[in-house]
Structure 1
Amino acid sequence: MAKRIRINWKQEGVEKTFLEACVHQITVNGREGSSLKQASWKIVAENLKTQHNFIVEQRQMKNHYDFLKGKFAAWLKLKNKTGNVYDPVTNSFNLSEEEWQIEMKSNKYVEALRSAPLAFPELCCQLFEGSTSNGFDSWGPSSTLPHPSEEVNEHNLDGMDVECTQVDSPGKGVSEESSIRSQKKEKGEKRKHKATLESQLIEVVGDIGLG
């Protein structure tokens, strides 16, 4: 059995090409589950081979995709943490040793984030919106999910605007607003119905009096 060659994702340009190719494929062909479709993986592999002579199997790409997704979720969680621990200039976090230890215990990807900053956050935002379980969501006209109540977090990284949309926790947003609206509508209809009954009653009493 041939020994599997260990691939190096840190090879110059490979990670950026990988992320850009994945974003393009999801834009064109959509997702399969939380990942890419099989045909899309083949095209991403061809891009890597053509541009960097980087030979990689689908399973290896999927593993790296999942690793970056986990690292991005950890990055986003820390970035949204209160206390302004994120430094957009260096794309790093100002945490004490004790804080790092606490975060690493709660999320296995934090250690990877501590040792190396998240590469290309703007591409990760585009790629992993809607596929992470940290409150991120990608909403569109074809989405089966309710339209999120949007809160935009922005920062500038290396002169590039990075914008990620944070969604309220489940149970909030449009579903809650719709419920409030329907309750108001129901109360309004009850008041209208009551007023109609009262006016009809007055007319009946008036007719009796005239009779």
Structure 2
Amino acid sequence: MAADWSEENTRIIVELFVKQVRMGNRPNTHLTPSAYEEVHNEFKMRTGLSYKQAQLKNKWDKLKNDYNMFKKLRLRETGGGWDVEKNTVKQDPEWWKKAAKDIPGCGKFRKQGLRNEEGPRVMFEDITSDGTDHWNPSSGVPPPSSAALPNVLDIDAIQDLDNENTEDQAIPSDEGASGLTQKRLGKFVHDGSKKPKTALVMQEQITRIGDIAERSQSSFESFIKNDDTTSVKSVMDAVLECGAEEGSDEHYIATELMARRDIREIFMHMTARARKSWLRRKYDDKYSK
């Protein structure tokens, strides 16, 4: 039968996909066959609908495409024209017309942005690319080692020594002996009238690259240190420590809630004694109606 991806069914399937990703059942760009089987069974239990694995995969691909498209759309808007209520770009028709040429299909987000955005972010953020190579500490991803090279290494400033005049240069000897010369070997000239020689340029550029790499590494390590207390692993360890054992209702609702950083921060701010009862109430609020 044809799949019915209503807003509610989409919300449920995203929850189930996120659960499998958090369990480590997405080794590459898709879930494992056994993970799809679990999604199928739980989706059927909650909705009464039985979809084939191919239909679930198609929905996964559709969600990934929408997330990547919306991510590019968000990055395109740099002028502050963002409608917070609708979670989408607030611009005139001409802007959207140009955007549609660069990001085919993005017009679907003109009236309403991506729904359930937090779920697709967990599912796809580390396996999608917006085409940029820029990095900042909030991304949680260190810069690629080659990112600094194009802006640092000035190839035009480098000269091949094979093309230089390598004839010995004669200078008066220290004794001032007539007709005698000394050879100046390995001496590189670098003044305003000549381009810098290869060795000196390379040394300068390598030093600059090293400085940039050191600063980037320092920033990244600082970010990791500060973020560790609210990482998914740290928070889920705290979930177990408060008595919410795997397989319990409290642990299940935690796997859904802790995908959001703000929820993780709230949870870690609670006393250890209050955490389990809070998870219980969250589960009851959602599933005991």
Question: Residues 72 and 103 of structure 2 are in contact (CA less than 8 Å); yes or no, is this contact kept in structure 1?
Answer: no
Structure 1 residue aligned with 2:25, among 18, 27, 30? Answer: 30
Output the CA distance in 1 between the equivalents of 2:99 and 2:140: 20
| SS of equivalent to 2:5 | coil
Output the CA distance in 1 between the equivalents of 2:212 and 2:106: 43
Output the CA distance in 1 between the equivalents of 2:142 and 2:105: 23
1:50 maps to 2:45: yes
1:67 maps to 2:97: no
1:106 maps to 2:102: yes
Cα distance change of structure 1 residues 180 and 20 upon mapping to structure 2, 3 Å threshold: same
Cα distance change of structure 1 residues 115 and 59 upon mapping to structure 2, 3 Å threshold: farther
Q: Structure 2: where are the runs of 5+ without partners? A: 153-206, 215-289
1:183 CA displacement: 9.1
1:85 CA displacement: 2.7
Cα distance change of structure 1 residues 96 and 27 upon mapping to structure 2, 3 Å threshold: same
1:32 CA displacement: 3.5
Output the CA distance in 1 between the equivalents of 2:11 and 2:34: 20
Output the CA distance in 1 between the equivalents of 2:140 and 2:120: 14
Q: Which amino acid aligns with 1:102?
A: K
Question: Residues 70 and 109 of structure 1 are in contact (CA less than 8 Å); yes or no, is this contact kept in structure 2?
Answer: no
Output the CA distance in 2 between the equivalents of 1:122 and 1:85: 21
Output the CA distance in 2 between the equivalents of 1:19 and 1:44: 10
Cα distance change of structure 1 residues 169 and 70 upon mapping to structure 2, 3 Å threshold: farther
Q: Larger radius of gyration, structure 1 or 2?
A: 2
* Percent identity (aligned): 23
1:180 maps to 2:210: yes
Q: Which amino acid aligns with 1:125?
A: R
Question: Residues 18 and 123 of structure 2 are in contact (CA less than 8 Å); yes or no, is this contact kept in structure 1?
Answer: yes
1:39 aligned partner: 34
Q: Which runs of 4+ in 1 moved over 4 A?
A: 166-170, 176-179, 181-184
Question: Residues 23 and 123 of structure 1 are in contact (CA less than 8 Å); yes or no, is this contact kept in structure 2?
Answer: yes
How many residues align structurally?
155
1:150 CA displacement: 3.5
1:130 aligned partner: 126
Question: Residues 17 and 47 of structure 1 are in contact (CA less than 8 Å); yes or no, is this contact kept in structure 2?
Answer: no
Q: Which amino acid aligns with 2:45?
A: T
| CA RMSD, Structure 1 to Structure 2 (Å) | 3.3
| Structure with higher strand content | 1
Q: Which amino acid aligns with 1:18?
A: I
Output the CA distance in 1 between the equivalents of 2:54 and 2:46: 20
Cα distance change of structure 1 residues 109 and 46 upon mapping to structure 2, 3 Å threshold: farther
Output the CA distance in 2 between the equivalents of 1:74 and 1:31: 21
Question: Residues 71 and 112 of structure 1 are in contact (CA less than 8 Å); yes or no, is this contact kept in structure 2?
Answer: no
1:168 CA displacement: 7.8
Cα distance change of structure 1 residues 76 and 85 upon mapping to structure 2, 3 Å threshold: farther
Output the CA distance in 1 between the equivalents of 2:106 and 2:8: 24
Question: Residues 86 and 94 of structure 1 are in contact (CA less than 8 Å); yes or no, is this contact kept in structure 2?
Answer: yes
Q: Provide the TM-score with structure 1 as the length reference.
A: 0.61
1:178 CA displacement: 11
| SS of equivalent to 2:104 | coil
Question: Residues 64 and 124 of structure 2 are in contact (CA less than 8 Å); yes or no, is this contact kept in structure 1?
Answer: yes
Structure 1 residues 148-188: Cα deviation after superposition (integer angstroms, max 9, x where no partner): 94443xxxxxxxxxxxx376875338xx999515999xxxx
Cα distance change of structure 1 residues 101 and 25 upon mapping to structure 2, 3 Å threshold: same
